[in-house]
């Protein structure tokens, strides 16, 4: 905006200088016109003098040939002849000067007419430029209002979410993988993912720092059907209590881990992912955007508040947490999990383990593919309605499948929390 204002100011200065130059030229032309008129007056005087001299010469010539006039004094006759010659020479000189003055007057008059035409053009151009300046000023005012409006919207949850979504869409993608989502164990309250991985892939020294699995999080697949966008509570103290909510990915920022998601009631392997926080856009967190389910966030907050099944004294209920997240008292943060690879060896080990224990993994569907060039699925960010991770209006099919996905994620998170 400052650049637009500077360019407008520079244009105004240039136009003002051009107008001033035009006015100076008009003044100069006026002076030349007055000089030309003075020349004309002088020419008139000279022309009168020439006429008088001609008449005088004629009279003298007649006197010279007048038979009644006798010149007895030779010196007087010679003097008269010399005077006549001088007068004739002076008359010729005056005629020459008169011709020059007339020619000069015509040239000045032509220049004056040309300058008047040029002045009219400049005047017309100035009016047009003035109109363009007014129009430009109107546009600048409109842009300033739009900029102020955008600045006010940038601080809103939907504005910040739109920035996050735009950043996510431009993250690089990996080439299409040979395998798709690998379905693993069924979800249950007794499922311990660390123990499961130690049994399924014993050759790897598994720890909680090597994989990510959070079935209660709001997680949506975006960006060429590869990356994930999650919504989780930020680290903060609940108002009116001494309990502190923990951000679940505090120690995962920038880390690369094996990522497991939930699909069709199972824990499914998705690939190798990098955790990317977005706290630079909202350092203090942001209110839960309208349209997102509040249940999973409340359950996830309660999970990080207490590791015991019995509630502590003063521990907020799930309903209280829902109200606080819905009102914006408690904040959330969006986290990007960027797909950076795919561990085919791990995928094969999971398939073998599930097959050996008598469970036939489900046949992967097209929407479970991991890689670029794949059709957008039900969890793509562009398939979300306004207030649900995006601002675009998708097709009816994508909107329906997206609502089913959010509803399924919410119900599974709530049922899992209630069973705990």
- Do 415 and 325 lie in one domain? The reply is yes
- Do 282 and 362 lie in one domain? The reply is yes
Which CATH number goes with the domain that contains 118?
1.10.287
- pLDDT digits 0-9 by tens, 30-70: 777 777 777 778 777 877 878 887 777 776 666 555 544 45
Q: Domain end: 123, 154, 185, which one? A: 154
Contact, 260 vs 193, CB < 8 A?
yes
Q: How many domains would you assign to the chain?
A: 2
Q: Which residues contact 237 (CB under 8 A, 6 or more apart)?
A: 243, 244, 245
> Does any domain span residue 165?
no
Cα–Cα nearest to 350, from 179, 178, 180, 182: 182
> Does any domain span residue 77?
yes
Q: Mean pLDDT score of the chain, rounded to an integer?
A: 75
For 289, the token pair is 């955007």
> pTM for the whole thing?
0.51
Q: Is a pLDDT exceeding 50 seen at residue 354?
A: yes
> Does any domain span residue 162?
no
> Does any domain span residue 106?
yes
> Does any domain span residue 166?
no
- Residue 230 has phi, psi (to 5 degrees) of -115, 155
- Do 32 and 120 lie in one domain? The reply is yes
- Residue 291 has phi, psi (to 5 degrees) of 100, -20
How far apart (Å, rounded) are the C-alpha atoms in residues 299 and 293?
Answer: 11
Which residues, in sequence order, are bridge partners of residue 211? 258
Cα–Cα nearest to 87, from 109, 58, 117: 58
DSSP 347-414: HHHHHHHHHHTT--PPPPPGGGB-STTPPP-TT-GGGPPBTTTBS----HHHHHHHHHHHHHHHHHHH
Which residues, in sequence order, are bridge partners of residue 108? none
373 or 45: whose pLDDT is higher?
45
Q: Print the domain residue range for 34.
A: 2-154
pLDDT of residue 107: 86
Beta strands in 142-263 (DSSP E): 182-186, 211-213, 218-222, 227-233, 236-237, 244-245, 256-263
Confidence of residue 402 (pLDDT cuts 50, 70, 90): very low
- pLDDT digits 0-9 by tens, 108-117: 888 889 888 8
Place of tokens 């049994």: 199
> Does any domain span residue 42?
yes
Q: Which residues contact 304 (CB under 8 A, 6 or more apart)?
A: 233, 245, 246, 248
Confidence of residue 347 (pLDDT cuts 50, 70, 90): very high
- Do 220 and 364 lie in one domain? The reply is yes
DSSP 303-317: HHH-SSSSPPTTPPP
- Residue 191 has phi, psi (to 5 degrees) of -70, 125
Q: Domain end: 126, 154, 182, which one? A: 154
- Do 266 and 391 lie in one domain? The reply is yes
402 or 207: whose pLDDT is higher?
207
**DSSP code, position 170:** T
pLDDT of residue 233: 92
> Does any domain span residue 161?
no
Mode of pairing for the β-strands spanning 211-213 and 256-263: parallel
The beta-carbon contacts of 395-399 under 8 Å, at least 24 apart in sequence, are none
């Amino acid at each position: 905006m400052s650049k637009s204002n500077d360019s407008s100011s520079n244009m105004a200065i240039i136009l003002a200088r051009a107008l001033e130059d035009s006015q100076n030229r008009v003044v100069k032309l006026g002076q030349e016109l007055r000089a030309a008129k003075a020349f004309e007056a002088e020419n008139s005087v000279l022309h009168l003098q020439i006429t008088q001299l001609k008449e005088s010469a004629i009279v003298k010539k007649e006197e010279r040939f007048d038979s009644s006039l006798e010149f007895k004094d030779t010196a007087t006759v010679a003097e008269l002849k010399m005077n006549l010659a001088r007068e004739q020479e002076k008359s010729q000189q005056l005629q020459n000067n008169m011709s020059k003055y007339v020619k000069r007057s015509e040239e000045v008059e032509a220049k004056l007419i040309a300058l008047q035409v040029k002045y009219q053009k400049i005047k017309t151009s100035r009016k047009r430029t003035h109109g363009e300046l007014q129009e430009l000023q109107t546009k600048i005012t409109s842009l300033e209002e739009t900029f102020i409006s955008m600045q006010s919207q940038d601080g809103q949850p939907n504005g910040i979410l739109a920035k996050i979504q735009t950043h996510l869409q431009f993250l690089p993608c990996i080439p299409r993988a040979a395998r798709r989502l690998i379905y693993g164990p069924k979800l249950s309250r007794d499922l311990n993912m660390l123990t499961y991985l130690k049994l399924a892939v014993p050759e790897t020294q598994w720890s909680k720092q090597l994989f990510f699995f959070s079935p209660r999080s709001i997680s949506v697949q975006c960006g060429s059907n590869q990356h994930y966008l999650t919504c989780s509570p930020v680290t903060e103290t609940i108002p009116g209590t001494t309990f502190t909510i923990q951000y679940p990915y505090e120690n995962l920022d920038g880390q690369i881990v094996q990522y497991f998601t939930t699909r069709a009631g199972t824990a499914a392997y998705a690939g190798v992912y990098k955790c990317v926080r977005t706290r630079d856009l909202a350092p203090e967190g942001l209110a839960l955007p309208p349209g997102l389910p509040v249940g999973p966030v409340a359950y996830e907050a309660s999970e990080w508040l207490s590791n015991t099944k019995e509630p502590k004294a003063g521990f907020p209920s799930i309903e209280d947490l829902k109200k606080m997240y819905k009102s914006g008292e408690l904040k959330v943060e969006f986290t990007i999990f960027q797909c950076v690879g795919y561990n085919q060896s791990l995928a094969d080990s999971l398939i073998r383990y599930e097959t050996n224990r008598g469970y036939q993994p489900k046949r992967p569907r097209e929407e479970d593919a991991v890689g670029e060039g794949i059709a957008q699925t039900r969890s793509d960010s562009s398939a979300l309605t306004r207030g649900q991770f995006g601002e675009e209006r998708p097709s009816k099919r994508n909107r329906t499948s997206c609502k089913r996905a959010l509803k399924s994620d919410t119900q599974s998170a709530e049922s899992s929390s209630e069973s705990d």
